[in-house]
Structures are given as C-alpha cells and as structure tokens.
Chains A and B, each alone.
Chain A
Amino acid sequence: MGLLPFCICCMEMSSEEFMNDIKWINDLKIRGGWGQTGNQSGVGDYGYLQLRNITRQNWWETGKANALPITSPANMSNSELTWETTTQTNIGVDFTILNNRLTLTADAYYKYTTDLLMDVPLGPTASFSGIYRNEGEMENKGIEFGVNSKNLIGNFNWDTDFNISFNRNKVKKFDTRQSYFYAQSTTGEYITKLAIGQPLGMFWGYVSDGVNPETGDIIYRDIDNSGSVTPNDKTYIGDPNPDFTFGLTNNLSYKGFNLNIFFQGSVGNDIYNLSRMETEGMYDAKNQSTAVLARWKIPGQITDMPRAVASKDNLKTSSRFVEDGSFLRLKTLTLSYNVTGKLLKKWNIGRLQPYFTAQNLLTFTNYKGFDPEVNQWGGSALVQGLDWGTYPQTKSYVFGVNVEF
C-alpha cells in the first residue's frame, strides 16, 4: 500500500488590487508546490520474491524420458521491497514586463529521496551476486532561471530563450554498504565511488604530480604521508556533475526566412578520459597517438608523458586522466524559407519549405577527447563522465523540403 500526496499553489499577484496601478508589470505569479512521487524503475517483475530458474532435463538421456523440469533459486528474496519515494518542494516566480516582451522565471527546488532502490552487490562469498534493496537516501537541490525575450517584433522578428540550471546532489544514507565502486578501468581499478556525503559519480583515485624526471614514472601523491603510495592515498579526484548547464535559443525571421540557432553548454563537469589510457598508455603492443612522442626517454628529461614500460603503474586511476569537460556547443542550426506564390495555391500545396539543418556544428571545449558530451556507461546516473573510446555524437547536415498538401 502506498500513498503519494501532492499539493500545488499558485498566486496571481498581478491580479491583486494593489498591483492594478503598476502598469509596467504585465504578469507576476508566484508558484509553490509540495509533493511526493514514487519510482520503481530498475526492479524486475516480482522483484520482492525469490524466483526460480527453470531448467529442462536432457530428455534424451537414459532414465530421463519423463523427467520434469527442475528449478533452483534465482535471486534473493526481499519481502520488504517497496518503491522509492521522492518528496519535492519547489517555489517559483514568473515575471512578465515591457508589454509582454520580457518574461523571467525563477524556480528553486529541494528533493529528498528515501528508500532509494539499488542493486546491492554482495561479493563473491554470497549465495547470490546481489540483492535489490531500498538501500539509502539522497537529496537533490537546485535553482533554475529562464529568460524569454522578444527582442524585435515586426517584419524582422528576433526571439531569445535562455535557461540555466544549477543542481547539487548528495547521498545521505546507505544501509548495507558504506560505499560502492563502479566502472573498472584497464588497470582493474574502479573509477567511480559512491559514498555517503558525496555527489553521485565522483571519481576516486590518486593525485598525479607529473613525471619524475629521474625515472620517467608518474609520481603519485602520498596523501597519508605513509612513505609509500598505497590505495590509502586515493581521494576524490573529479566530479562529473556540472556546476551548471545552460541552453540558448535565438530565433530570427525575416519575410519567409527563418533562422534558429540553439546553443547548449555545461560548465564545471569533469571527464575521466579512459581513451587516453589506451592511446597514451604504452603498456602493451598497440598503436598510440602522437602525444607519446613526448614521452620520457633519458634521466633528467622534463615532460608530462611518462616512459614506455610494459606495466600499468603509470595508468593507475589518477588525476592524470581527469579533464575539464566544460563545453559550449552549437547544437542545432536551422535555416528555412517559406515559399509563397500563386502556383502553390493552384497546385494545392499548403506549405513549401526548403530547409537546412546542421547538428553539433561547432564545439568549444578544452577537452582532449572526441566529444565532451559522452558517457561510456550509457544513461546510468551512478556512473557518469567516462570516455573510453565512446562513440562521439555525430555532426550532421540535413538538406530537406517540407511540403504540405
């Protein structure tokens, strides 16, 4: 049994008597809401039950002609399994001025998720590899701003839409394990660590202090001052969550021409560039990028590329491969023209619109890989910002004609 209440309030300030005299404000609205939503994605059918694997017996073997199929336990039972619940509080303002030419919106939210559904891995000593549990709690909070401006109206039309979002998340509680690791690299180390008090997807590894000019090996920082580099020296070395993301759309039209330009961007997100482990790793026999030409060759050489050695010591999960994934991208650009004329009517053509669309046309970034907008582990919220030969987003040019009869 579950109960998921929600409540939304909205106050039209501009309809109030005291605001009647303020003519420059066209609309002022304050919104607020509180609600709970449930989520059960990720859990299979009857996930709370111990299901059984079914195996047919080899009926062709002696004595098994009439053998019934046999079953065995397939997973762990969890009679307490329930959906995860997110409680969200949000407050927002809509503000329209200048003869409805400029609309500003602002929203702030706080989301708290309880009974977080997770597949808890139990390790090799357990009877089953893992159990679905309501394992933890997590918070998300953020603010979003939007601007919609009609810059020019008339023959020449120019609209601008801009939005920007800031989100912060943090794991608040785990039941069974205190931390989780995901995404094994070529060295066998995990890259992503999920732990209480941290955002999702944090990179965990050594701090690289560059190449030792004497040995040509990477110097990993001895954080706990133990005198040697051990896994205890690992720390958080990157955060794949952006400080903020934004989108900017400009729409220009003149006569039959229409130009739509959509920029998208993300600032402050880190990427773990596993592809460079392969193309600059020099740990086994495979082709490398030209970056390895700068590798360390003789004692005393100052370089940021370690020596070639058949070992993965220089490839330990470290800040060496963490890069700033901030980018600004011209996501789509569309130019179209509406053909008008008598012939169209005669031929019963309602609309004839040749157009050109380009996607991912321009990208501004310092990221060294193919594409800052990638994730090797797909859409997982737990593992983000990993690039390991991941197929980049394609640049595409489309010429076309829209015809309506």
Chain B
Amino acid sequence: MKNRIKLSLLLSAALFMGSCSLNYDPISDYSELTFGNETGDAGDKYQTKAEMQQQYDNIYKSIQNAQESWYMDMLVFAETHADNAYSGATDAELISLESNKQDATNKNIERDWTSYLGYIVSANRVICNVDSVPDAALTDAERKQWKAEASIWRAWVLFDMTRLWGEVPVVTQETPNITAANVKEMYPILFPARNTIEDVYKQIISDLQYGLQYAPKTSATDKFKLTQSVAKTLLAKVYAEAPVRDYAKVIEYCESVKNDGFSLVANYSDLFSVNNDKTDVNYRNTSESIFEVIYPLGSGSWVTWMFGIDQCDPSSTYNWAKWITPSRDLIQAYENEGDNVRMNEAIIWAQPSWSIHYPSDHYPFMYKTRSRYNSILKFRLADVLLLEAEAYVAQGNLTAAADLVDQIRVRAKLAKLDASTKGSKDNMVNAVLKERRLELAFEGQRWFDLVRNGKVLEVMNSLNTRDSGRKKMATFTENSLLMPVPQTQIDSNPNLTQNKGY
C-alpha cells in the first residue's frame, strides 16, 4: 500500500511549570500561610488571647444554642420516654419514643448523637489549644481555668451520652491533617469506635477532677458558669451510676456542694415564676441554682413555645401541638400526695384547639420553663439533696436520708415522711424516687432516676395498666435501657456497633 494515508495528527501539551509567574501562594487571605504554620500542628491555630477567648466563649454559646438537643430532646428522653409525659405532637419520632418503639432511624436520636459529639469537639478546641497560644496576655491561671471549664463540659456531655447509649466514642484530640501517607493510620481517629463504658467513665472522672481543681468558684450573680460546684454535682451523679458506683463518694461530693453556699429558695415557685407585668422572670441565679442556662433579655430562648405558651409574650397562643404533655400518671402522683404546690408549678391547664391526649377544654401543658426569659435549670440544690438521700438509703442510713427528703417536703408544704416509710429501706428507696419525681418533674431527670435505681422494668411495664391515656408500649427489657446508635452514623462509620435489641 502506497503511503497515501492522509493522517492528521495533533499533539499538544499544556504545561504549568514551577517557574510560572502565576504559581504563587495567596498571601492576601487569612490562611495557614499567613498564620505561621503549614503542618497544621495544634501549636499556633490560635495566636492571640482574643482568638482563644472566642473558642472559649463558643462553649457557652453552644450551650445556649443547645435548646433542641440538650434540653428539649433530653426532656423527651427523660419525661416522654418515661412515665411523666406523652409525646404531645404526632411526629413519628416522638410517638416511637413514647411507646418504647424507637429504632436506629429515629431522626431526633440522630441529631442528638451528632450534636453531643459536636459539643465535645468545641470543648476539645479549648482543651487542646489553650496551652500553646503564644500570647502572654493569656495568663497561666486563665489557661487552666478555661481548660477546666471546657473539661467539665466535655465530661457532662460524655456523661449524658453514656447514660443514653452506653458505649460511645471518646475523642479527646483535634483531627490531625490527613495526607496520602497517613490516611490509613488516620482512619481510627477519623472514624472512631465506641469506647467501653468503663473507659468513658474514666475520661469523665479525670475531666471532672481537672475541673474541680481549676474551675472558678460559684458566683452568686452568674450561675451560667461551669464551676467547681458543677464539677462536684456531676461527680456525685457519676458515682451514683452502676458502672462506677460509690455511695460514700456521692455523699462526699453532695456535702461539698452544700458547703459551697447553696440553699433552697423559700418558695418553690420562685424557681419558675414570671413577674406580674409578664416582662421577665422574678428570679434567676437563685441561691438554689447550681447551673442554669441564662438567656439575654430581649431575645430570650425559643424553646419555651415547644411546651406551651410564652408567659412573657402576650401574643403567644396554643397554635400547634406542644411537646411534653403531662401524663395522667404524673398528675395522679401529685394528687395522691396532695402536692398542689409543685403540681401547679409543673402543669398548667388550658383550652387548645386539639384533643390529642386530653379533651381540648381541659388540657394540661408543661409549665416549668414558661417564658422565653426563664433560664433552663440544669442543676439545683434540691436535686443534690435528694441524690444524697438516695445514697444514704443505699448505705442504710435511713434517718439521714429522711432528714434530707423532709427538707424538700417541708418547702413543698407537705408533711414529713411518716415513721413507717422511714423505718423500711425499701419504702425509703421508693420515697426518695417519688420525691425526685414530684420535685424535679420536667427537669430532665425521671428516666435516668429509673435507670439508676433499677426500676425501669417494674415501673414502665406496668404503666399501661395505670395510665389509660398512654400509648400501648413495647415491653421494656434490659436492652431498652439504652438508645439505638443512629443507623446513619453506623453507615458512615463502620467502626461503630449497634446496641443490643436494635
């Protein structure tokens, strides 16, 4: 064949050489180049005190913004998922939690899992970086204090997580840079497995011990602070839990909290009430409050309209189904006790347009966080006193326990415990548990009280026979004590495992 083939050939190359004049790193923008390091070491991520302070302030901002996951959803776990409340609204997520049919695809459980882990990340930002800020304006004492507050926050979140899910991943470092060379070693750091419950508690206790050492003392004018007293309260609660149970320590830390100058307010309603003009709450930072999330006047919180009307907003109405509807069983418990003082602070009756759980002409709503200006009460002295009573009962010191319970009952205008109750350990276990229920209803305690006292199966499996308005619940078993790990999280992190029964 003659060479008549017409062949068109085109070869081209686009070359970007190292010497090309366009190949410069940008120095006009704020980036790692202009902030000194290229390795991504924790070292100089934050150069000035103000930069570190922003991360420190972010912890408190994120607590204020945690209304959904760390307050409202906590109430669903603690009240709706226990015997104090119904779902209120008809969302399938809520109804499944009310009837103990929650599964791994529950979107509320998923958002809480991811939010809580996110809070730990924000605590780690402070803990991991505060020591290496080169700015001398940040004093050694401040560094320790910030780290202590962040440690308390990390411990608190881990404590809530392990009570909900059991084993959880404990991540105490920031994410290192990922390169082609280290991607394999990074894998367990990027996609951590769940630590054993024992390890989780080890971390919690060590964080709280650090917090106890360096956190600020409590201030009478600002209870929205992660103080030594908060660390002590948490330690008392931690040592009451089965995996690390030590009642002597519970009593020791409760006593220590009491010695920090807290006292019960004289009127129970002072903890929750709004003023006559309905422009603000009557009191915040009360002598009883150990930790409360304070919202600024003006904006306030949004979460209050999830439970009822906002008492500080005259235009507020019962416009759609509210969450955490008080259960018949709880109302019965108040009535059996003749406890009007606390029932009237916990429950308000109204006439909404719906009748999901009650007739619409007489419908109860949660009343404790009743306005946008109400602080979210997380820890208060009454909780600590009753926890101490629980520990004394377990130790057999029924008199000491009854004295503590009586303090709470007298404030609620109720008679002191009678002799037959005081005389029996079993009766006292139930008396303390009931007192906690009535005193702390809708404050996010009930479910955890039942679990801690080993009462879930006994109380919850008989609930359908006691409470006619309760949805038919799935039978509680040992597996019901923990929530499912969200399936989306297992999907994206194969190192995670699911809890038994889900």
- Which residues from chain A sit less than 8 Å from chain B, CB to CB? 1-12, 15-18, 45-46, 49-52, 54-55, 57, 67-68, 70-73, 76-80, 121-128, 131, 133, 175-181, 184, 187-190, 231, 283-285, 310-312, 316
B15 at the interface (CB under 8 A from A): yes
- Contact assessment for A5 and B12 in the assembled complex, using a CB-CB cutoff below 8 Å: yes
Nearest CB in chain A to that of B128: its residue: A127
A177 touching B6, Cβ below 8 Å: no
Chain B residues, Cβ within 8 Å of A316: 105
User: Can you list 14 A-B contacts (CB < 8 A)?
Assistant: A1-B23, A6-B10, A16-B4, A46-B29, A50-B32, A67-B50, A76-B175, A79-B38, A79-B179, A80-B180, A121-B492, A127-B175, A310-B95, A311-B101
Output the least CB separation between B15 and chain A (Å): 6
Within 8 Å CB of B9, what residues of A? 7-9
Known: A46-B31, A51-B29, A72-B46. A126 touches B121 (CB 8 A): yes
Mask for B4-28, Cβ within 8 A of A = 1, else 0? 1111111111111110000101100
Docked pose: A15 CA to B179 CA in angstroms:
55
B337 to chain A, nearest CB (A): 33
Known: A16-B4, A122-B190, A311-B96. A54 touches B30 (CB 8 A): yes
**Are A123 and B489 closer than 8 Å at their CB atoms?**
yes
Nearest CB in chain A to that of B46: its residue = A72
Task: Indicate whether B43 reaches chain A with its CB closer than 8 angstroms.
Answer: no
B191 — nearest CB in chain A belongs to which residue?
A123
Does B45 interact with chain A (Cβ within 8 Å)?
yes
Q: Interface size for chain B: under 10, 10 to 19, 20 to 34, or 35 or more residues?
A: 35 or more
What residues of B have a CB within 8 angstroms of the CB of A49 in the complex?
Answer: 25-26, 29, 31-33
Task: Determine how close the nearest CB of chain A comes to the CB of B449; give it in whole angstroms.
Answer: 28
- How far does the alpha carbon of A2 sit from the alpha carbon of B46 in the complex, in Å? 34
Which residues from chain B sit less than 8 Å from chain A, CB to CB?
A: 1-2, 4-18, 23, 25-26, 29-33, 35, 38, 40, 45-46, 48, 50-51, 53-55, 90-92, 95-96, 101, 104-107, 110, 113-115, 117-118, 120-121, 124-125, 169, 171, 174-175, 177-180, 183, 186-187, 190-192, 486-494, 498
- Rounded to whole Å, the gap between the CB of B146 and the closest CB of chain A is 15
Q: How far is the CB of B116 from chain A (nearest CB, A)?
A: 8
**A184–B488 CB distance below 8 A:** yes
Distance from A33 Cβ to chain B, minimum over Cβ atoms (Å): 9
- Picked from B13, B38, B104, B171, the residue with its CB within 8 Å of the CB of A125 is B171
Which residue from chain B places its CB closest to the CB of A232 in the assembled complex? B498
What are the residues of chain A within 8 A of B23 when measuring CB–CB? Answer: 1
In contact, B177 and A78 (Cβ under 8 angstroms): yes
For the complex of A and B, list the 8 residue pairs with the smallest distance between their C-beta atoms, beginning with the closest: A124-B117, A52-B30, A188-B107, A50-B32, A124-B114, A127-B175, A49-B31, A125-B171
Q: Min CB distance, B111 to chain A, in Å?
A: 9
Given contacts A17-B2, A50-B32, A187-B105, 20 further A-B contacts (CB under 8 A): A1-B18, A8-B8, A16-B4, A55-B54, A70-B50, A76-B177, A77-B38, A78-B178, A78-B179, A79-B179, A123-B190, A124-B113, A124-B489, A125-B121, A125-B171, A125-B192, A179-B491, A188-B107, A188-B110, A311-B96
Chain B residues contacting A73 (CB-CB under 8 Å) are: 32, 45
Q: Are A284 and B90 in contact (CB under 8 A)?
A: yes
Q: B11: which of A5, A128, A177 is its contact (CB, 8 Å)?
A: A5
Is the CB–CB distance between B54 and A127 below 8 Å?
no
A10 touches B8 (CB 8 A): yes
Give Cα A177–Cα B35 distance, bound, in whole angstroms: 30
- B169 touching A125 by the CB < 8 A rule? yes
Chain B hits for A231, CB < 8 A: 104, 487, 490-491, 498
Q: How far is the CA of A1 from the CA of B17 in the complex (A)?
A: 5
Q: Pick from B14, B92, B114 the residue with the most CB of A within 10 Å.
A: B92
Q: Please name all residues of chain A whose beta carbon is closer than 8 Å to the beta carbon of B95 when the two chains form the complex.
A: 310-311
Assembly CA distance A34 to B8 (angstroms): 14
Cα of A128 to Cα of B26 in the assembled complex, Å: 22
Complex contact A176–B178 (CB within 8 A): yes
Q: Which residue of A lies closest to B58 (CB)?
A: A72
Q: Which residues of chain B are within 8 angstroms of A76 by Cβ–Cβ distance?
A: 40, 175, 177-178
Report the bound CA distance from A82 to B35 in whole Å.
Answer: 22
A127 touches B121 (CB 8 A): yes
CA distance A190 to B487 in the complex (A): 9
A3 touches B90 (CB 8 A): no
B413 to nearest A CB, angstroms?
A: 40
A57, B498: Cα distance in complex, Å: 44
- Taking the closest CB of chain B, its distance from the CB of A295, in whole angstroms, is 17
Establish whether residues A177 and B191, one from each chain, have CB atoms under 8 Å apart when the complex forms: yes
Alpha-carbon distance between A211 and B270 when the two chains are bound, in angstroms: 56
B286 to chain A, nearest CB (A): 27
CA distance A50 to B38 in the complex (A): 9
Closest chain B residue to A310, Cβ basis: B95
* Shortest distance from the beta carbon of A126 to any chain B beta carbon, whole Å: 4
Q: Which of A54, A125, A178 is B494 in contact with, Cβ under 8 Å?
A: A178
Most buried by A among B23, B25, B178: B178
Task: Tell me, in angstroms, the Cα distance from A184 to B114 when the chains sit together.
Answer: 15
Q: With A71-B51, A188-B106 given, is the CB distance from A181 to B46 under 8 Å? A: no
For B492, the chain A residues whose CB sits under 8 A away are 121, 123, 177, 180-181
Specify which chain A residues have a CB less than 8 angstroms from the CB of B175 in the assembled complex: 76, 122, 126-128
Given A50-B40, A285-B90: A190 and B45 within 8 A (CB)? no
> Closest CB-CB distance, A86 to chain B, in whole Å?
14
Contact of A190 among B117, B186, B488 (CB under 8 A): B488
Complex: A189 Cα to B110 Cα, angstroms: 10
A8 to B7 Cα, complex, angstroms: 10
Residues on B with C-beta less than 8 A from A79 are: 38, 179
Bound form: Cα–Cα A272–B6 in Å: 51
Q: List the B residue with the shortest CB-CB distance to A131.
A: B178
CB distance A181 to B96 under 8 Å?
no
**A133 vs B92: C-alpha distance when bound (angstroms):** 38
Inter-chain contacts of B110 with A (CB < 8 A) = 188
| Selected contact of A175 from candidates B7, B26, B35, B183, CB within 8 Å | B183
- Smallest CB-CB separation from A53: which chain B residue? B30
- Which residues of chain B are near A50, meaning CB under 8 Å? 31-32, 40
Residue of chain A at shortest CB distance from B103: A313
A202 to chain B, nearest CB (A): 14
Specify which chain A residues have a CB less than 8 angstroms from the CB of B107 in the assembled complex: 187-188
Q: With A and B bound together, what is the CA distance between A15 and B187 in angstroms?
A: 60
In the assembled complex, how far is the CB of residue A311 from the closest CB belonging to chain B, in whole angstroms? 5
- Which residues of chain A are near B17, meaning CB under 8 Å? 1
Q: Which B residue sits closest to A128, measured CB to CB? A: B175
Beta-carbon nearest neighbor of B15 in chain A: A3
Q: Quick one: given A7-B9, A10-B8, A123-B493, are A188 and B105 in contact (CB under 8 Å)? A: yes
CB neighbours (8 Å) of B115 from chain A are: 124
Taking A57-B50, A71-B51, A231-B487 as contacts, is the C-beta distance between A6 and B12 under 8 angstroms? yes
A125 to B106, CA, bound (A): 20
A326 to B178, CA, bound (A): 43
Chain B residues near A55: list those with CB within 8 A. 54
By a CB distance below 8 angstroms, the chain A residues around B54 are: 55, 70, 72
Chain B residues within an 8 Å CB radius of A175? 180, 183
B48 lies within 8 A of A70 (CB): yes
Known: A181-B491, A310-B92. A51 touches B14 (CB 8 A): no
Select A127's contact among B13, B101, B169, B174, beta carbons within 8 Å. B174
B194 to chain A, nearest CB (A): 11
Question: In whole Å, how far is B190's beta carbon from the nearest beta carbon of chain A?
Answer: 5
The answer on a CB contact under 8 Å between A9 and B4 is no
Judge whether B50 and A176 touch: CB under 8 Å: no
Q: Identify the closest chain B residue to A284 (Cβ).
A: B90
Chain B residues whose CB sits within 8 angstroms of the CB of A180 once the complex forms: 492
Q: A78 to B31, alpha carbons, bound, how many Å?
A: 12
Most A C-beta atoms less than 10 A away, residue of B23, B191, B490: B191
Q: How far is the CA of A117 from the CA of B368 in the complex (A)?
A: 51
